[in-house]
Amino acid sequence: MEHKLVCVCGLTGAGKSVVSDWLVDKGFGFFRFGQITLDIVKERGLAPTEENERPIREEVRNKYGMGAYAILNMPKIEALLGKGHVVGDGLYSWSEYKALKEKYGSRLVIIAVYTPPNMRYERLASRKLSAADTRMRNRPATAEQARTRDYAEIENIEKAGPIAMADYTILNTTDVNSVHRQCERILEEIVRQ
């Protein structure tokens, strides 16, 4: 059986990391699409805020094209696929989706995580930045920062495309156990393919 590349997409605060972490616990290799942005934020000595990250995301895409985060992560993806199934946290753009679909075909599985905006905004506002979160995966945001990010990602970086084309959609409106049960059903289907 060929190893699968499972990419998790959704708007900020939807629960992408919850799904990705669950798959890592099941033995999947892991990479995060947006780690490229956060590495640049750190290199430049900036705070990990939406106001600092957005121009960097757009700069990377201006330099490498709208498929940048998929293309720049392909060497990492290839290395991980050589060892087993892989989960990519945070697929963003339609162009990234198309680049991955062209390269991996039926090995690519997209999982969208959906949570209504007001619920996501509440969750993001309650997050606390932790020193233990060295990869900055769970950064807090105000409702206005999150709404602005939603609009920018939908309008400027084609984020809705991969969500619309997902093979599976997880509804994250209750608790983590519900998300894990949905993940279990999806994983059963993925490994049967």
What's the DSSP call for residue 107?
Answer: G
- Residues in a beta bridge with 171: 114
pLDDT in tens, the chain (193 residues): 799 999 999 999 999 999 999 999 999 999 999 899 999 999 999 988 878 998 998 899 999 999 999 999 999 999 999 999 999 999 989 999 999 999 999 999 999 999 999 999 999 999 776 555 455 556 788 999 999 989 988 998 789 999 999 999 999 999 999 999 999 999 999 988 7
Burial state string for 44-68 with b = 16 or more CB within 10 A and e = fewer than 16: eeeeeebeebbebbeebbeeeebbb
Domain 5-192 is classified in which CATH homologous superfamily? P-loop containing nucleotide triphosphate hydrolases (3.40.50.300)
Q: What is the pTM of this model?
A: 0.89
Cα angle 160, 192, 93; round to 5: 15
Write down the domain spans for the chain: 5-192
How far apart CA 12 and CA 154 sit, in angstroms, is 11
